[in-house]
């Protein structure tokens, strides 16, 4: 069973461009979480999604950031008009539905660099 997949692993964007980060959860997992790790800091929760629904986006910046988890395909974290402060590692985690879903499985992350 493949783990959580994220791509790209490294992404370089210039200020003002768009960044699209993809996350494919583990097979059978219907819950996806996105976290951001700024340099020299811990991970901070951004958004929690289930298929076709955003459940909790309390950690998402109000502007430029959006996330989706469509019925088919990976979850996407989209950052519009990137700024240097968006440079960070973005991690996706997935968990299965139901009572067993207390553990999250993390992907390898996407490291975004904004020039």
Closer residue to another protein (CB): 71 or 99: 99
Burial class of residue 19 in the structure, from the number of CB atoms within 10 Å of its CB (0-12 exposed, 13-18 middle, 19+ buried)? buried
Nearest to 78 by CA among 34, 26, 44, 27: 34
Closer residue to another protein (CB): 57 or 64: 57
Closer residue to another protein (CB): 2 or 72: 2
Nearest to 86 by CA among 114, 59, 64: 114
Per CB under 8 A, the list member of 11, 32, 48, 79 interacting with another protein is 48
Integer Cα distance of 9 and 46 in angstroms: 19
The verdict on 109 binding another protein (CB under 8 A) reads yes
The verdict on 43 binding another protein (CB under 8 A) reads yes
The verdict on 44 binding another protein (CB under 8 A) reads yes
């Amino acid at each position: 069973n493949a783990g959580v997949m994220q791509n790209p692993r490294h992404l370089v964007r210039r200020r003002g461009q768009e960044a699209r980060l993809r996350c494919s959860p583990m097979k059978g997992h219907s819950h996806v979480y996105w976290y951001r790790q700024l340099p020299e800091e811990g991970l901070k929760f951004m958004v929690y999604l289930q298929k076709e629904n955003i459940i909790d986006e309390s950690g998402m910046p109000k502007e430029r950031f959006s996330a989706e988890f469509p019925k088919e395909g990976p979850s996407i974290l989209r950052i519009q008009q990137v700024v240097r402060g968006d440079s960070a590692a973005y991690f996706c985690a997935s968990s299965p539905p139901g009572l067993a879903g207390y553990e999250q499985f993390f992907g390898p992350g996407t490291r975004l660099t904004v020039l």
